[in-house]
Structure 1
Amino acid sequence: MLEQVSVIMPAYNSEQYIRSAIDSVLEQSYTQFELLIIDDCSDDRTSKIVKEYTDKRIKLIQLEENTGASGARNLGIAKAKGRYIAFLDSDDLWKQDKLMKQILFMKEQDIALCYSAYEVMNVEGEQITGIVDVPSNITYKQLLKNTIIGCLTVVIDTKKTGKVEMPSFKGAEDTATWLSILRVGHKAAGVTEVLACYRKTHTSSLSSNKLNMAKQIWQVYRYDQKLSLLQSAFYFPCYVWNGFFKHIRTGGSIRTIR
């Protein structure tokens, strides 16, 4: 018997891409899921597009105030009924066998958190600009050095972790969540096959956003994970180095990150 997966999809002004994201979930070979779409107070046609779908597995939650991605995800997590929690942003895509392969893998490996490799596509979705390869397993200390886990690939077994909650700060709340899961002793492992596709928008490519993300990772070290200044200073250069090469491998340029 297939156990239910709750797919959490935050959405804000996503009319351009959300249909493709929803379709990639509905086309999953693993059919026992609910798709919780949290419209974070959009002022475009996002909710209208979602309401066009008649599949009863889709549940739309409309917020009256904008809470940000972590707030929307946390609301979805709180309302989730499935044993497993998966995440997909409204502009990204899943491969057809994504959930099936990861759920089977999690049962075989007896792990709390699963991730996978993923492709990076351009904003139009017409060209694959790179692939983010992942290790077959990762420890807490390794993740501090290399924030390689893509939120769009993660599946969490709440029977092992309990209901998780993402911190409220913006920018690295997903990484902070994975770190907190590993810190208490839960195991994470990866499917090295590409199972998802991340849309690299113009905004995500801006050098100012790269700098902001670096600042957020430092905040995660110091204030979320409570690392000492010395520990943070040890891990941070590793994060920067790995982030640089990830950027280059996925179609970025040296000029972009200056």
Structure 2
Amino acid sequence: MPEVSIITPCYNSSKFLEETIRSVQNQTFTDWEWLITDDRSRDNSVEIIKKINDPRIKLTIAEKNGGAGHARNISLKNATGRFITFLDADDFWEPDFLEEMIGFMKKENAEIAYSNYARCDENLEPKIEDFKADKEVTFNNLLKTCRLSLLSSMYDSQRVGIEYFPEGSKREDHVMWLNLLKKIHVGKPLPKTMAKYRMHPTSVSRKKQNIVKDQYLVYKDFMKFSTAKSLYYTANWAFNGFLKYSKIFN
């Protein structure tokens, strides 16, 4: 079995996919499997992946378009690695991402860890200050802001099990991390910039005003909080999201 399973959803990602592939193949740590699930792309993403001659890369094509959470779940069902990590098909890892993260988790005896990541434009040029992994993550502080980004986080499935994404939510990553942190005491920060995140102008996660309702449902429907408690955490999330992305504070 590989030491780590990399989980990637792919949908119409041909513009940046080859760069993402190179960032994985250039990893100094080589004992990995990469499970890519294509969510019925309409471009040539599948053709790009099929051209790669690397047995560690395993492509699945979804039967129907079901969204990123659905695609990740398909890959998670087939994952065999001890460590689980995520990379979207347009993001980028530094060559020592896997080596640094796995080494840190073993040294710190961590069940979940996360690193800094650079926040870049579509050409991977810095756009605002790097996101800093400067705080331990707990269930309670993750309610107010999602500090765990998929591209710079990793968890130990031998110790905490596989956690699947809720389907049909635009905030599926936040729900998944909250469910995972119900099982453990704390996630550890690695204060090194190990990845690059493309900040697309049309990204759903950037348009906070469009997903306030979806965030409210994270608390109301998935965490089963009261209306007042759900509104309280939604307000905290919106305020912290403004601080996270505003150029005034970065």
TM-score normalised by L of structure 2: 0.93
* CA displacement, residues 87-109 of structure 1 (integer Å, 9 cap, x when unaligned): 00000001111111111111122
Identity of matched residues, %: 34
Q: Which runs of 5+ in 2 are unaligned?
A: none
Tell me the CA shift for residue 231 of structure 1.
2.1
Alpha-carbon distance in structure 1 between the residues aligned to 2:13 and 2:2: 29
Mapped partners of 2:43, 2:241: distance in 1: 33
Measured at CA, do residues 250 and 215 of structure 1 come closer, stay the same or move farther in structure 2, by a change above 3 Å?
farther
CA RMSD of aligned residues (A): 2.0
Q: In 2, distance between residues paired with 1:4 and 1:250?
A: 41
Which residue of 2 is the match for residue 216 of structure 1? Answer: 214
Match of 1:255 in 2: none
Greater than 6 Å deviation, 4+ residue runs: none
Q: Please, which runs of 5 or more residues in structure 1 have no aligned partner?
A: 253-258
Equivalent residue for 1:93? 92
Task: Read off the aligned partner of 2:218 and give its amino acid letter.
Answer: V
Post-superposition offset of 1:3: 5.6
Contact 1:40 1:68 in 2 (8 A): yes
Instruction: Please give the TM-score of this superposition, normalised by the length of structure 1.
Output: 0.90
Amino acid at match of 2:200: T
Q: Is the 8 A contact 2:40 2:63 kept in 1?
A: yes
Q: How far apart, CA to CA, are the structure 1 residues paired with 2:247 and 2:5?
A: 31
Residues in 1 aligned to 2:159 and 2:134: alpha-carbon distance in whole angstroms: 22
Q: 1:169 to 1:13 in 2, by over 3 A?
A: same
State the partner residue of 1:124: 123
Which residue number in structure 2 is paired with residue 12 of structure 1? 11
Name 1:105's counterpart in structure 2.
104
Change (3 A) 1:47 1:67: same
- Give 1:55's aligned residue: 54
* SS state at 1:202 partner: coil
Match of 2:158 in 1: 159
**What letter matches 2:147 in structure 1?**
I
Q: Counterparts of 1:206 and 1:228 in 2: how far apart (Å)?
A: 25
Corresponding residue of 1:236: 234
